[in-house]
Amino acid sequence: MTYLDEAVSLETVIRATVPRYTSYPTAPHFSTDVGADAYGGFLDRAAAEDGPISLYVHIPFCHSICHYCGCTTKATRRYAPIEAYVEVLRSEIAMVAARIGRRAVSHIHWGGGTPNLLSAAAFEAIVGDFHRFFDIGSDTEHAIELDPRHLGEERASFLASIGVNRASLGVQDFDPAVQAAIGRIQPAETVMAAVDHLRGAGITSLSFDLIYGLPEQTVSSIRRTVETAMALAPDRISLFGYAHVPWFRVNQKLIDTAKLPGSELRLELERTAHGSIKAAGYTPVGIDHFARPGDAMALALSTRTLRRNFQGYTTDRADTLIGFGASSIGRTPAGYAQNVTDTGNWRERIVGGRFATERGRVLTAEDRLRADVIEQILCFFDVDLSAMAARHGADLAVFSADLDKLEPLVRSGWVTAHGGRVAILRHGAELARLVASAFDAYLGTGGRHSVAV
Ligand SMILES: C[S@@+](CC[C@H](N)C(=O)[O-])C[C@H]1O[C@@H](n2cnc3c(N)ncnc32)[C@H](O)[C@@H]1O
Ligand code: SF4
């Protein structure tokens, strides 16, 4: 991107394209130098550390693909490919467990795709493996991403029976015109029924995913969507800006770009949704999350223990996150590792007894320092650079060029930067990605990103 020059308007900020920083360095800066051997080394190093680890399982299958979807998944109506996938997944789990050893698990996360397409037997087998290889306790957070269109009463009870205690539901938008434009018809009653089933089964920690910036959205339609969502009282809400990347996700070519809101309306949609959620009593968390006061995520914000990882904001503090499945990304103290995306290729590698790592990143000392700074900005909208430099044994001077880049934002009165401390004073949710990007040493040398707001 071109960094901000003299005259900064919020408009400029909206148009700036910056990463979402779910990792630093970001995924476009991962390299194929990190493969199976390097990942083995990462796991060996992680095995030498104490403390719990986290597990992420990627299920890249859906019944059909929503037009807007930016996730790595594919459509299938048959169960055979899913069954075959699960078998390989179990081999991968055994392989990683043999290398990292028996560890306590603080967090399990099923993502996708649509994890709920797995049969009960498949869930039981994988969760059984987790119990066999790792220490899963009653305090392990066990979360799943759910599509409300595929969740009956029986399935909700089943998920509770295998230990699932948190669910995030893909709500997106309740407006029928928006739903038609995004290829996802999901009446409010469907979401209400899913919420009832989950609560009835004892899975009471619920989160909703909402998206602004979708085709056909208006200020009044998004206000109604938020009101409907609020009536169901989820504990948390993720309010994502629609990322339109049709060069990367061909299904998004089905979105009529003429119906997409322009940058001004997009900002207004975000403001409206943000304001309505806040007015309903939720605490804004970072750039796109909200939590009820008293919820663990709101607490993590106030105690400055909130973290950010590939799934977004989290209360999980584990330093090692193991990714299972095609395209999954893991983080270890030594670096990041991403599995190959193609499921056939992933299967071939695992069946051949090798890790399926295709790309990744060995972290340098400076990467670690900058990753910490960027995470602080994304989580808390401020950072104590002196403290960060001291923690990493670095000199504050390492940031001098970065601080220069913030000058226009400082002159606008939105950001302060003195005494080694940077704080965003206004428009935090809109500005955090941009302010963080000032500390990104690789910015402008990677792929294309979506707009900041
Ligand atoms: C991997 S999906 C899993 C949820 C589940 N498959 C469903 O659709 O209900 C996680 C969330 O990512 C968000 N998402 C997907 N594509 C997006 C895009 N292009 N821009 C912004 N958010 C997106 C949606 O809010 C979705 O609920
Ligand atoms: S939004 Fe969810 S259901 Fe729709 S295609 Fe993406 S992962 Fe599948």
Percent above pLDDT 70 for the chain: 95
Cα(143)–Cα(10) distance, integer angstroms: 36
What is the model's pLDDT at position 18? 86
- The pLDDT tens digits of the residues spanning 201-212 come to 999 999 999 999
How far does the centroid of ligand 1 lie from the alpha carbon of residue 66, in Å? Answer: 9
Give the residue-averaged pLDDT of 439-446.
86
370: CB partners within 8 A, 6+ apart: 24, 439, 440, 441
Given a contact cutoff of 8 angstroms between Cβ atoms, the answer to whether 326 and 357 are in contact is no
Which ligand is closest in space to the CA of residue 20?
1
Q: Classify domain 25-324 at the CATH class level.
A: alpha beta
The answer to the question of whether 41 is labelled as a binding residue is no
The answer to the question of whether 85 is labelled as a binding residue is no
Instruction: Name which residue sits closest to atom 6 of ligand 2, judged by CA.
Output: 69
How far does the centroid of ligand 1 lie from the alpha carbon of residue 88, in Å? Answer: 25
How far does the centroid of ligand 1 lie from the alpha carbon of residue 387, in Å? Answer: 36
Q: Which H helix or E strand runs over 154?
A: helix 153-161
231: CB partners within 8 A, 6+ apart: none
Model confidence at 15: pLDDT above 70? no
Residue with structure tokens 């059984």?
Answer: 128
Q: Which two tokens stand for residue 165?
A: 């205690």
Whether residue 62 has its Cβ less than 6 Å from ligand 2: yes
Instruction: Name which residue sits closest to atom 1 of ligand 1, judged by CA.
Output: 112
Model confidence at 6: pLDDT above 60? no
Mutation pick for ligand 1 pocket among 209, 238, 327 (CB with most ligand atoms within 8 Å): 209
Q: How confident is the model at residue 450 (pLDDT cuts 50, 70, 90)?
A: low
- The pLDDT tens digits of the residues spanning 300-344 come to 999 999 999 998 999 999 999 999 999 999 999 999 999 999 999
**Is 138 exposed, middle or buried, given 0-12, 13-18 or 19+ CB atoms closer than 10 A?**
exposed
Give the residue-averaged pLDDT of 270-285.
97
**Cα 335–340–344 angle (5° rounding)?**
155
Mutation pick for ligand 1 pocket among 57, 59, 63, 69 (CB with most ligand atoms within 8 Å): 69
Q: How confident is the model at residue 13 (pLDDT cuts 50, 70, 90)?
A: low
**Ramachandran area for residue 152 (φ above 0: left; ψ -120 to 50: alpha; else beta):** beta
Mean pLDDT, the chain, whole residue set: 94
Beta bridge partners of 107: 54, 141
Q: How confident is the model at residue 7 (pLDDT cuts 50, 70, 90)?
A: very low
Whether residue 286 has its Cβ less than 6 Å from ligand 2: no
Return the number of other C-beta atoms located less than 10 Å from residue 401's C-beta. Answer: 11
What DSSP assignment string belongs to 417-432? EETTEEEE-S-HHHHH
Model confidence at 368: pLDDT above 60? yes
Q: How confident is the model at residue 10 (pLDDT cuts 50, 70, 90)?
A: low
- CATH for 1-24+364-453 (1.20.1740.10, 3.40.50.2300, 3.20.20.70, 1.10.10.920): 1.10.10.920
Domain positions in the chain: 1-24+364-453, 25-324
Given a contact cutoff of 8 angstroms between Cβ atoms, the answer to whether 62 and 114 are in contact is yes
- The pLDDT tens digits of the residues spanning 136-148 come to 999 999 999 999 9
Whether residue 311 has its Cβ less than 6 Å from ligand 1: no
Whether residue 114 has its Cβ less than 6 Å from ligand 1: yes
Ligand 1 nearest atom to the CA of residue 71, by list position: 1
Give the residue with greater pLDDT, 150 vs 1: 150
Q: Which H helix or E strand runs over 436?
A: helix 428-437
Return the number of other C-beta atoms located less than 10 Å from residue 48's C-beta. Answer: 9
- The pLDDT tens digits of the residues spanning 49-103 come to 989 999 999 999 999 999 999 999 999 999 999 999 999 999 999 999 999 999 9
Ligand 1 nearest atom to the CA of residue 66, by list position: 8
Cα(14)–Cα(261) distance, integer angstroms: 13
Model confidence at 195: pLDDT above 60? yes
- The pLDDT tens digits of the residues spanning 373-399 come to 999 999 999 999 999 999 999 999 999
Burial 212-222 (b: 16+ CB within 10 A, else e): bbbbbbbeebb
Residue with structure tokens 């935090």?
Answer: 428
Whether residue 66 has its Cβ less than 6 Å from ligand 2: yes
73: CB partners within 8 A, 6+ apart: 60, 61, 62, 65, 112, 113, 114
How far does the centroid of ligand 2 lie from the alpha carbon of residue 64, in Å? Answer: 8
Q: How confident is the model at residue 2 (pLDDT cuts 50, 70, 90)?
A: very low
The answer to the question of whether 135 is labelled as a binding residue is no
The answer to the question of whether 217 is labelled as a binding residue is no
User: Percentage helix, strand, coil, to 5, in the chain?
Assistant: 40, 20, 35
Ligand 2 nearest atom to the CA of residue 113, by list position: 7
Mutation pick for ligand 1 pocket among 168, 178, 211, 239 (CB with most ligand atoms within 8 Å): 211
